[in-house]
Amino acid sequence: MTAHDFTVELFCRVDDTMPELKKHPLSSLHPSEVVTVGLLHALRGEGNRAFYRWLAREMKALFPRLPERTRLFRLLQEYAPHTQRFLAQPTFFGVCDSFGIELLHPKREGRSPRQIGKKGKSNWRWIIGAKLGLLCNGQGQVVDWQCDTANVYDAAFHPLLEKVREQMIVLCDRGFYSRGGNPPNLKVCKRNTWNERMTVETVFSLFTGVLHLKKLAHRSWPGLQARLAYAVAAFNLCIAWTGEVKLALADFAL
């Protein structure tokens, strides 16, 4: 389908999920329109200015009362918590892992007071940025997520496992082991065992190749967390678009 038809269908699905939210009399956009714009931003995988130019040029007919750019992105941050509605349900087995996000080149560390990322290792290389902790179910859908700076140990994402301690057995690598104690549902897997964990690597490849989350340019935590929230929601919606979960996003790259 065309980008126009896809946006209409996406809006209908979002609006059906948020029936109780009403538009403020002075607002330019309905809450479901704001969330739809956030999902489109995640699928485009580009910066704020480039996305706004595309939105104003290609989707003006669908969003005739589009607010000014900075106002729009403040709205996206405000309505980002509503993306929790699109998180998936736990399954008996799941997997948790971390995904490094580069916000700054290591040589530029400390040059700006607006720097929010910290130095850490991702895929055996140093980055200045953040870590996205993902908890996925057996089908690869995201059940929950958490964001922290890149210098933290993977055990910092134990709260994700604690939330589903009665529902899921979570497969993790040795980076999630903590001498101070581990959640009872944590299953630490040795190298070359439990290949079911490779599902999360497919998820990460889609986050990198289609959603373009490996390198971002955000300079505030609310903005970064909003971008990740919409990306996770768009991922869950699109891989289950036909009713059957399929780990593929190429057809939804705008």
pLDDT lower than 50: segments of the chain: none
56 and 132 share one domain: no
What pLDDT digit, counting tens, does each position of 135-156 carry? 999 999 999 999 999 999 999 9
Domain housing 76: 3-86
66 and 21 share one domain: yes
Predicted local confidence at residue 112, as pLDDT: 84
CA distance linking residue 166 with residue 164, whole number of Å: 5
207 and 138 share one domain: yes
Predicted local confidence at residue 231, as pLDDT: 97
**Contact present, 249 and 235 (Cβ < 8 Å):** yes
The structural domain count of the chain equals: 2
Predicted local confidence at residue 10, as pLDDT: 96
Domain C-terminal end among 86, 113, 148: 86
Q: Which region holds residue 87: left if phi is over 0, alpha if psi is between -120 and 50, else beta?
A: beta
134 and 202 share one domain: yes
**Contact present, 132 and 227 (Cβ < 8 Å):** no
80 and 97 share one domain: no
97 and 214 share one domain: yes
Predicted local confidence at residue 227, as pLDDT: 97
Predicted local confidence at residue 158, as pLDDT: 95
Domain C-terminal end among 86, 101, 121: 86
pTM reported for the whole predicted model:
0.94
78 and 7 share one domain: yes
Residue 211 maps to which CATH number? Answer: 3.30.420
